Structure 1
Amino acid sequence: MKKLIFLAALLIVVSCNTQQSSSNDYKDGSLSIDERVEALLSKLSIEEKVAQMRIFHANIGTKPDENGNLKLSKKVIEKLKLGIAGIKNPGEHIDPVAAAKLNNELQKYIIENNRWGIPALFVTESYNGVDAEGCTKFGRPMTSAASFNPELVQRQWDVVGREARLRGMHMCHSPEADIVRDPRFGRMSEAFGEDTYLTTQMVVSAIKGVQGDYEGLGKGTHIGAVAKHFAGYGQVLGGSNFAAIEISERTLIDEIYPPFEAAVKEANTLGIMASHGDLNGVASHGNPELLTGVLRDQWGFEGYVVSDSNDIARLFYFMKVAESPEAAAQMGLEAGIDIDLYAEDSYSYLPEMVKNNPDLEELIDRSVRRVLRTKFILGLFDNPYIDIEETKKGVRSAASLELAKESDLESIILLKNENKTLPLSKEKSTKVALLGPLLKENTKEMFESVSGPNIKFVAEKGFQLTNEKGGAPELLERDPKAIAKLVNTAKSADVIVLFLGGDKFTAKEAYFSNSTLGDRATIDPVGPQNELVEKIKTLGKPVIVVLKHRRTLSINTIASEADAILDTWDLSEFGDESTAKIIFGDVSPSGKSPVTIPRSIGQLPYHYSMKEINYKKEYLFLGKGPLYPFGHGLSYGDFEYSNISISSGEITRETELTVSVKVTNNGNIKAKEVVQMYIKDEIGSVTRPDKELKGFEKIELDAGESKTVTFTITPKMLEFTGISMKKVLEAGDYTVKLGTSSQDYLETTFKLKK
């Protein structure tokens, strides 16, 4: 009898231990990620599942107190009782070490205050490096694109990934994979330009960098990327944020989708963000054909899809394609949106909706699996905290700051250099006036650090472009006294450098609020900038324009009056120092324009790869063609292209061929050049682009040095969506163009055989 009692007791203990082990099996690191996800998912209540489908912003009550310790609002405490998918920008306004401490405390609180100890994703963004205080500030994506150097961009985003992780962040709502061709759009500089191929190379490099080639995710050294905005967001009508998007299906497939497809297939992005807008009448956040059919069924995406800010709820109250808030939530869920960003309504309705429609839980489970899978990939269940000692050493390291400078130097574009105005000599005693509304407080100091003792500077900002009101900036009235003062200052100088263009107030995101504007109806430089250039030019002295901006501007007056123009877009925190190095010849400029620069807004839409028939007619009373073409950028070197050759005059559907060109630097300075390859399909079953970028290589040549640059042409490069709306390879004639821009090249031909 005693033996039976002992055996019964032993069975009870074994059973209890088995149940306890079973209850924690999702914590077993020896199991596969999918097994751990399923084990945890099976334990969650419907309310806990939906909590894993929501992100809120830290500004609703997640901050440090006066002693730097975590302080949570009642609202946040309530939200965290069931766990949470993630929190946007915790610690963004404090230094990296303080942020790491805060985020460790926040993560600890979250883990200890939900039943299953599920950690949260902390999410940032990256337009000039990590969007947070105290991190290395790089140039914006459009600036990076001007480098035409994917390897450099990957190194830059590697720093972004490392610095973000050291702050305690895990995901990044970047990079933008949008094609942006309308400079009226205030968010233009957040993307990588007008071209599909260039954008694809940059997006893949950015994602690989920020994710540490994917291996950095589980190691805890990098963060996950969220490519956005899927799809077509940069094509809003009129360049107006939240406006409709009308793109032909063929253009979508051939030009808009490829950067996103590469983000999934080549870079293995952890996340995708849906587009604010509709797409040919179908709201993107309620579009299952887009978010499930294309993204998952065609491309095999396994990560999560997150809404843009409040956009699921907007299916009801803004897009007006859902009959009620609940219908909007169901529409987003069915389409494939896994995480609801910010909304207080929308997915919060799902637990109650499941009571009336139990089939929804299967879709909820689908989304929760994707979110949990991401957290396991990032290693958050096993290593949720940051080593603050590593944060102290790893953020804003000397190497990272030098990389920011290197990126600047490769991204600055020399648009014009009449009579070899640049570079300026450091040996000759010269007085230089640094003038204009885009002058910074430390610009003179940065120029002095570069120029040497023979150069004397005088600096004068003169006027602001706007009243710098955050929501809707207003232009300031012309100040004749300020202009006169700038001209008078210029009179005492030998050379004038004008800092012109635009700033963060003249090109920015137009948020949903009606009181917040950022798009423009014209693209001329604002304020009296053209007048300033004209008056300075009358002094008869060399005029160099440093063009800073976040959208393409029609700079006709600047182009006609300036002796030299450096297009810098939006550089790093060391931008003026890098600009000075270019001006004084420490480095030859090597950036190339990632967009077409039009003469007038009336030319829009205007990009180099438009259909050939678009170029048939010019406009009355306007010069021919663009002001500066896509891919344009001058050098202090003197590059000569010669000896173009092709390995065969024919290519088949199964073979490849190579095309080569000799590039010689006939100048007297070492310089870098971007050799560009464009292909033109001479006859197609549908109207075809005038030309398409299909390859580029950045090379560096010493004075007098030559190099033969070779590209491989593959059948894949020649594919397009045919008249049947299927990908086709059409036999016929092709022209390949190798050169220094989309308008300056040598060419040869080949045939695709049947």
Structure 2
Amino acid sequence: MKLKLKIAAAAFVMSLVACSQPITKDYKDASLSIDERVEALLPKLSLEEKVAQMRIFHANIGVEHDENGNLKLSKKVIEKLKLGIAGIKNPGEHIDAIAAAKLNNELQRYIIENNRWGIPALFVTESYNGVDAAGCTKFGRPIASAASFNPELVQRQWDVVGREARLRGMHMCHSPEADLVRDPRFGRMSEAFGEDTYLTTQMVTNAIKGVQGNYEGLGNGTHIGAVAKHFAGYGQVLGGSNFAAIEISPRTLIDEIYPPFEAAIKEAKTLGIMASHGDINGVASHGNPELLTGVLRDDWGFEGYVVSDSNDIARLFYFMNVAESPEAAAQMGLEAGIDIDLYAEDSYAYLPEMVKKNPELEKLIDRSVRRVLRTKFILGLFDNPYINLDEVKKGVRAVSSLELAKESDLESIILLKNENDVLPLAKNKSIKVALLGPLLKENTQELFKSVTGESIEYLAEKGFQLTDEKVGAPKLLDRDGAALDKLENMAKKADLSILFLGGDEFTSKEAFFNNALGDRATIDPVGAQDELLERIKALGKPVIVVLKHRRTLSINTIADQADAILDTWDLSEFGDQSTARIIFGEVSPSGKLPVTVPRSIGQLPFHYSMKEINYKKGYLFLEDGPIYPFGYGLSYTKFRYSDIKISNTEITPNSELEVSVLVTNEGDIKAKEVVQMYIKDKIGSVTRPDKELKGFKKIELAPGESRTVKFKITHKMLEFTGLKMEKILEPGDYIVKIGTSSQEYLETTFKLKN
């Protein structure tokens, strides 16, 4: 009995001891909060394992399938994965979706099984025409999407991007771009959503909501996380030259450049931000704590991770010349708030040795690793790291996704000119049409026939290329007189010609290091394109131009000579079919310009929302104004604007106004119209924009139908950065303009009172 009592007493004491000990939380316990799981895992990691969670390498260093379809890793990759890794860029990008999903499952399994704590990796892609990988739905580029002026359509498009990427086994996307693009010399212009702050904000937030599945799609494994880029001011590089300096006023930075990024964080909940290649007024963005910590985190409350652009932390030393050594560059990036080093072997790789000399750096390393681990938990990778291969075939390139690509095209095509209503053409009229020019594709004639059937006879000939199409630094080809003669003779045999002109992926592209060029010193159409148009026009037959391009072009000759112009930017894989449907009247064009089209490169900078004083004088020997203004785009019908009304002539910081306009379709076909609202501050304590887009709605009207379109005006629309560099509401008079473009509108006035 005494022995039993002693045993019982001992057990009781042990239970008291056990209760007094802290309960160790297991990071694998899915019932814990994400923050609890992060804090349970972080202390377990060695310093070297922590730093591994701050690095991404590219799959092209040795991640592939062997001849039997099994995972094959290079010795370099195997060595990198011993400690785990933050992520890998583009694994499986050149193989179809099912093969990529299989590869990425095998790769993820290898990573989990070969680091001590089973930490999964982030697989990262990009999206400029849909998922940048083989076998996915190819959509139009972002600037083409912007031309739709349809944020809901953009969200649906990026929802497909998010789903298709996740089914390939991807988890993050270094897209979309929240940059403003106002300099068409810049080769990356088509990657962003245009020149306007409000339009870009609407497009970026909806793209992020789409790709992330309204955030809910992250943890349930259906979507991927977005990384909005490039923070901040990247599109404003001097001379339109990639990697050049950025000189931008603090007021413009705050009022025009920041808002799309702020909305990406606060409204769309982007998981990531990528820092900008450049500097801002001399302060390199990758070493700027005021920008990456002060603005992003302290002011806006961003909780995700910040990733460097390619090798850019190391470039603080060997390119930007703002760090004394590679180690100093690594410390600058770390202190500024860069959490993940993209690609570099000469930057964060030095951190373990640096901590030995400066142990305080480990606190900053822990800060970054928390953000990376948090992202992996949000995406559910610890609990469900693999893709169900049975779902891939059903979900990638689904019929609904392909139809969405076509729908997006149709809403993005812009009718710039339609002299004597030459368009639309009749499908049932027996005519011969010449499809000519350097932007003609091999399947263009086939796609046109899919729309018109056999009633239209086609002649098709590309004629000549614009460049030698070398990837790094393409060169313009010499004028080919024989090719021009051939195209002219073909046009003589036709009743009308459709010329495919503009530019392509070789005349506008990203400029990399190692002398890979992509920016241009002129913005005129290159080669003999204008000559081709003039020769065909001289035949006295109708000439329709299909303008394809990735940067704004000063299309003076095209605007003057063509009978009709369809601006298509860079559309989906079905782009030529969609163009044919517009040309032959199945759908009325409804796209609007997301940029201003200048007459000359000498007018730059030249966006519609410049300060009013910029418009005081023009230039000698040049017609004033743009060729086509921001927001411009014609239709096959005529929309009449009338009866503009405002609910009150005064607004206060605690009230709102409603402004409305009556829009009537006076034609005989159903069509869509983008109704645009601009606001102008008549007098400001600082010089103010000439006007600013503050709202738009895309509506569809039947023939003869009228609709009252309403907009709210809030005090937030009227805020700007005042004399003391603080956001203010300044009492005074405002003009609200509602119309079909930034230059054609009705207007009324109101007053802001305190």
Q: What TM-score comes out, normalization by structure 2 length?
A: 0.98
Query: 2:552 is paired with a residue of what secondary structure?
Result: coil
Deviation at 1:20, TM superposition (A): 14
After TM superposition, the structure 1 = structure 2 runs for residues 160-239 of structure 1, keeping only pairs within 5 Å, are 160-239=161-240
AA partner of residue 508 (structure 1): K
Q: Whole-Å Cα distance in 1 between the matches of residues 79 and 10 of structure 2? A: 44
Taking a change above 3 Å as real, the CA distance of residues 732 and 75 of structure 1, as seen in their structure-2 partners, is same
Which residue is 2:649 aligned to? 649
2:142 is the alignment partner of 1:146 = no
Taking a change above 3 Å as real, the CA distance of residues 13 and 546 of structure 1, as seen in their structure-2 partners, is farther
Q: Whole-Å Cα distance in 2 between the matches of residues 312 and 2 of structure 1? A: 69
Taking a change above 3 Å as real, the CA distance of residues 353 and 7 of structure 1, as seen in their structure-2 partners, is farther
Query: 1:226 is paired with a residue of what secondary structure?
Result: strand
Which residue is 2:753 aligned to? 753
Percent identical: 82
Which residue is 2:36 aligned to? 35
Which residue is 2:614 aligned to? 614
CA offsets 1:18-67 (integer angstroms, 9 cap, x no match): 99994x70000010000000000010000000000000000000011111
Query: 1:25 is paired with a residue of what secondary structure?
Result: coil
After TM superposition, the structure 1 = structure 2 runs for residues 673-688 of structure 1, keeping only pairs within 5 Å, are 673-688=673-688
2:62 is the alignment partner of 1:61 = yes
Taking a change above 3 Å as real, the CA distance of residues 16 and 701 of structure 1, as seen in their structure-2 partners, is same
Deviation at 1:466, TM superposition (A): 0.2
Query: 1:122 is paired with a residue of what secondary structure?
Result: strand
Query: 1:368 is paired with a residue of what secondary structure?
Result: helix
Query: 1:414 is paired with a residue of what secondary structure?
Result: strand
Which residue is 1:321 aligned to? 322
Deviation at 1:2, TM superposition (A): 8.0
CA offsets 1:251-288 (integer angstroms, 9 cap, x no match): 00000000000000000000000000011000000000
2:508 is the alignment partner of 1:507 = yes
After TM superposition, the structure 1 = structure 2 runs for residues 229-268 of structure 1, keeping only pairs within 5 Å, are 229-268=230-269
Structure 1 runs not aligned, ≥5 long: none
Q: Whole-Å Cα distance in 2 between the matches of residues 373 and 11 of structure 1? A: 39
Which residue is 1:524 aligned to? 524
Q: Whole-Å Cα distance in 1 between the matches of residues 631 and 414 of structure 2? A: 10
Query: 2:711 is paired with a residue of what secondary structure?
Result: strand
CA offsets 1:134-175 (integer angstroms, 9 cap, x no match): 000000000000000000000000000000000000000000
Q: How many residues were matched structurally? A: 752
Taking a change above 3 Å as real, the CA distance of residues 646 and 481 of structure 1, as seen in their structure-2 partners, is same
Deviation at 1:7, TM superposition (A): 9.4
AA partner of residue 266 (structure 1): E
AA partner of residue 361 (structure 1): E
AA partner of residue 358 (structure 2): N
Taking a change above 3 Å as real, the CA distance of residues 9 and 98 of structure 1, as seen in their structure-2 partners, is farther
Q: Whole-Å Cα distance in 1 between the matches of residues 3 and 700 of structure 2? A: 88
CA offsets 1:188-210 (integer angstroms, 9 cap, x no match): 00000000000000000000000
CA offsets 1:283-309 (integer angstroms, 9 cap, x no match): 000000000000000000000000000
Q: Whole-Å Cα distance in 2 between the matches of residues 75 and 17 of structure 1? A: 48
2:700 is the alignment partner of 1:707 = no
Which residue is 1:365 aligned to? 366
Deviation at 1:345, TM superposition (A): 1.4
Q: Whole-Å Cα distance in 2 between the matches of residues 740 and 162 of structure 1? A: 35
Q: Whole-Å Cα distance in 1 between the matches of residues 81 and 351 of structure 2? A: 17
Q: Whole-Å Cα distance in 1 between the matches of residues 454 and 296 of structure 2? A: 59
Deviation at 1:652, TM superposition (A): 1.1
Query: 2:193 is paired with a residue of what secondary structure?
Result: coil
AA partner of residue 503 (structure 1): D
CA offsets 1:87-123 (integer angstroms, 9 cap, x no match): 0000000000000000000000000000000000000
AA partner of residue 306 (structure 2): V
Deviation at 1:452, TM superposition (A): 2.8
Q: Whole-Å Cα distance in 2 between the matches of residues 60 and 20 of structure 1? A: 45
Q: Whole-Å Cα distance in 2 between the matches of residues 15 and 637 of structure 1? A: 83
Q: Whole-Å Cα distance in 2 between the matches of residues 667 and 343 of structure 1? A: 59
Which residue is 2:100 aligned to? 99
2:410 is the alignment partner of 1:409 = yes
After TM superposition, the structure 1 = structure 2 runs for residues 230-629 of structure 1, keeping only pairs within 5 Å, are 230-514=231-515, 516-629=516-629
Structure 2 runs not aligned, ≥5 long: none
Q: Whole-Å Cα distance in 1 between the matches of residues 695 and 27 of structure 2? A: 46
Q: Whole-Å Cα distance in 2 between the matches of residues 554 and 711 of structure 1? A: 34
Which residue is 1:80 aligned to? 81
Which residue is 2:638 aligned to? 638
Q: Whole-Å Cα distance in 2 between the matches of residues 16 and 672 of structure 1? A: 71
CA offsets 1:449-497 (integer angstroms, 9 cap, x no match): 0013321111000000000000000000101000000000000000100
Runs of 4+, deviation exceeding 6 Å: 1-21
AA partner of residue 628 (structure 2): Y
AA partner of residue 529 (structure 2): Q
Q: Whole-Å Cα distance in 2 between the matches of residues 210 and 9 of structure 1? A: 56
AA partner of residue 566 (structure 2): L
Which residue is 2:91 aligned to? 90
Q: Whole-Å Cα distance in 2 between the matches of residues 271 and 491 of structure 1? A: 56
Taking a change above 3 Å as real, the CA distance of residues 12 and 509 of structure 1, as seen in their structure-2 partners, is farther
Which residue is 1:721 aligned to? 721
Query: 2:273 is paired with a residue of what secondary structure?
Result: strand
Deviation at 1:392, TM superposition (A): 1.2
Deviation at 1:80, TM superposition (A): 0.2
Q: Whole-Å Cα distance in 2 between the matches of residues 735 and 140 of structure 1? A: 34
2:124 is the alignment partner of 1:123 = yes
Q: Whole-Å Cα distance in 2 between the matches of residues 382 and 20 of structure 1? A: 25
CA offsets 1:492-521 (integer angstroms, 9 cap, x no match): 00010000000000000000222x000000
Q: Whole-Å Cα distance in 2 between the matches of residues 400 and 2 of structure 1? A: 76
AA partner of residue 169 (structure 1): M
Query: 2:49 is paired with a residue of what secondary structure?
Result: helix
Q: Whole-Å Cα distance in 2 between the matches of residues 17 and 187 of structure 1? A: 61
Taking a change above 3 Å as real, the CA distance of residues 14 and 183 of structure 1, as seen in their structure-2 partners, is farther
AA partner of residue 430 (structure 1): I
Which residue is 1:740 aligned to? 740
AA partner of residue 161 (structure 2): V
Query: 1:26 is paired with a residue of what secondary structure?
Result: coil
AA partner of residue 194 (structure 2): G
Taking a change above 3 Å as real, the CA distance of residues 21 and 635 of structure 1, as seen in their structure-2 partners, is same
AA partner of residue 736 (structure 1): V
Q: Whole-Å Cα distance in 1 between the matches of residues 510 and 21 of structure 2? A: 53
Query: 1:453 is paired with a residue of what secondary structure?
Result: helix
Give the superposed CA RMSD.
1.8
Q: Whole-Å Cα distance in 2 between the matches of residues 466 and 122 of structure 1? A: 35
Q: Whole-Å Cα distance in 2 between the matches of residues 71 and 334 of structure 1? A: 37
Q: Whole-Å Cα distance in 1 between the matches of residues 8 and 95 of structure 2? A: 61
Q: Whole-Å Cα distance in 2 between the matches of residues 15 and 108 of structure 1? A: 40
Q: Whole-Å Cα distance in 2 between the matches of residues 497 and 2 of structure 1? A: 103
AA partner of residue 148 (structure 2): S
AA partner of residue 683 (structure 2): I
Taking a change above 3 Å as real, the CA distance of residues 712 and 326 of structure 1, as seen in their structure-2 partners, is same
Query: 2:420 is paired with a residue of what secondary structure?
Result: helix
Deviation at 1:13, TM superposition (A): 13
AA partner of residue 220 (structure 2): K
CA offsets 1:539-568 (integer angstroms, 9 cap, x no match): 000000000000000000001000000000
Taking a change above 3 Å as real, the CA distance of residues 88 and 17 of structure 1, as seen in their structure-2 partners, is farther
Q: Whole-Å Cα distance in 1 between the matches of residues 292 and 753 of structure 2? A: 37
CA offsets 1:329-356 (integer angstroms, 9 cap, x no match): 0000000000000001100111111111
Which residue is 1:110 aligned to? 111
Q: Whole-Å Cα distance in 2 between the matches of residues 525 and 550 of structure 1? A: 12
Deviation at 1:10, TM superposition (A): 12
Q: Whole-Å Cα distance in 1 between the matches of residues 235 and 413 of structure 2? A: 24
Query: 1:209 is paired with a residue of what secondary structure?
Result: helix
